[in-house]
Amino acid sequence: MRLLVLSDSHGKSERLEEIIRKETDALHIFFLGDLVRDIENLVFLFPDRTFHIVAGNCDYFAAEKSIDTVKLAGKKILFTHGHNFRVKYGSAEYLESFARQNGCDIALYGHTHIPDIDIRGGIFLVNPGSVGHSRSGPETYAVIDITGDKIIPKTIKI
């Protein structure tokens, strides 16, 4: 199973559409906030995909939650924008702790606009970076392949 992880589009909905069209094997799409309105119309353009959406700190009037979980391919996945976990201050410690307390295998987060993949105590922490405005070079997104017990995340430059 392939998961597509997107975050921080900040008005670049056309870029989101391009990425979704390119990643045809990803039937589950995670959007980690900022700006939710960029992804909302794409849900209707891609009815064969399942969208998992959370609100970010710039999604002032969004109805979506800011933290959610889902179980896919036998793995429990926490997904959040990350601002509630202080990830912008250089540490995913609070996020890791929350994921561990909730029995998660994977924690997805955005907010920093900087891609990062880390494994801490068996928990995969994946930040796809930003599809709209990177702070560390080219814009990026992430894909995660889950096959049996293997979890293989990677970031992709746009």
For 118-153, write each residue's pLDDT tens digit: 999 999 999 999 999 898 899 999 999 999 999 999
9-47 confidence digits (pLDDT tens) = 999 999 999 999 999 999 999 999 999 999 988 999 999
Does the structure show a pLDDT above 90 at 91?
Answer: no
Q: Which residues of 72-100 are buried (b: 16+ CB within 10 A; e: fewer)?
A: bbebebbbbbbbbbebeeeebeebbebbe
* Residue 63, pLDDT score: 87
Other C-beta atoms lying within 10 Å of the C-beta of residue 13: 18
* Residue 136, pLDDT score: 87
Indicate the pLDDT class of residue 88, thresholds 50, 70 and 90. Answer: confident
**Structural domains counted in the chain:** 1
Q: Which pTM was predicted? A: 0.97
* Residue 34, pLDDT score: 96
Amino acid at 65: K
* Residue 124, pLDDT score: 99
Residue 16: which domain range? 2-157
Token pair for 97: 């702790």
State in Å, rounded, how far the first CA of the chain is from the last one. Answer: 22
Does the structure show a pLDDT above 80 at 89?
Answer: no
Q: Return the CATH number at 9.
A: 3.60.21.10
